[in-house]
Amino acid sequence: MTYTTSESSPDWSGLLATIRKTLFVPIHPAGWPFIAVFAVVAALLSMLWVPLGWVGLVLTLWCIFFFRNPLRTVPTRDGLVVSPACGRVVSVVTDQKLPPELDRASDAGPNFTRISIFLSVFDVHVNRVPIAGTVVQTAYRPGKFLNAAVDKASTDNEMSATLLRVNDGKNEVDVAFVQIAGWVARRIVNNLLPEQVVKTGQHMGLIRFGSRIDVYVPENVVPMVVVGQTAIEGETVLADFKSKEKAREGEVI
Q: Per residue, what are the HEC states of 81-111? A: EECCCCEEEEEEEEEECCCCCCHHHHCCCCC
Q: What is the mean pLDDT of residues 151-166?
A: 84
Average pLDDT, the chain: 87
Work out how many domains the chain is built from and give that number. 2
Q: Nearest-CA neighbor of 84 among 195, 206, 247, 171?
A: 206
Q: What is the mean pLDDT of residues 193-213?
A: 90
pLDDT score of 64 more than 60: yes
Give tens-digit pLDDT for 49-61: 999 999 999 999 9
List the domain range (segments joined by +) for residue 144.
Answer: 80-240
106 is annotated as an active-site residue: no
User: For helices 32-48 and 50-66, what crossing angle results, to 10°?
Assistant: 170
Contacts 24+ apart (CB under 8 A), 168-172: 168/79, 168/218, 168/241, 169/78, 169/79, 169/241, 169/242
Residue 63 contacts residue 209 (beta carbons within 8 Å): no
pLDDT score of 252 more than 90: no
Q: What is the pLDDT of residue 74?
A: 96
Report yes or no on 194 lying in a domain. Answer: yes
Percentage of the chain exceeding pLDDT 90 = 58
The residue with greater pLDDT, 109 or 6, is: 109
The pTM for the full model equals: 0.84
Report yes or no on 73 lying in a domain. Answer: no
Q: Nearest-CA neighbor of 212 among 152, 252, 171?
A: 152
Report yes or no on 3 lying in a domain. Answer: no
Eight-state DSSP code of residue 159: E
Q: What is the mean pLDDT of residues 130-140?
A: 96
Report yes or no on 62 lying in a domain. Answer: yes
Classified as helix, coil or strand, 75 is coil
Eight-state DSSP code of residue 117: E
Q: Which of 91, 160, 211, 243 is catalytic?
A: 211
Banded pLDDT at 17 (limits 50, 70, 90):
low
Q: Taking the CB of residue 36, how many other CB atoms lie within 10 A of it?
A: 12
Residue 81 contacts residue 243 (beta carbons within 8 Å): no
Report yes or no on 19 lying in a domain. Answer: yes
Q: Phi and psi for 97 in degrees, rounded to 5?
A: -95, 160
Q: Are residues 130 and 100 in the same domain?
A: yes
Q: Are residues 137 and 182 in the same domain?
A: yes
Q: What is the mean pLDDT of residues 3-29?
A: 65
Report yes or no on 186 lying in a domain. Answer: yes
What is the dihedral angle through the alpha carbons of 108, 109, 113, 116, rounded to the nearest 10 degrees?
A: 70
Q: Are residues 53 and 152 in the same domain?
A: no
Among 66, 88, 110, give the residue marking a domain's end: 66
Q: Are residues 129 and 221 in the same domain?
A: yes
Q: Are residues 94 and 218 in the same domain?
A: yes
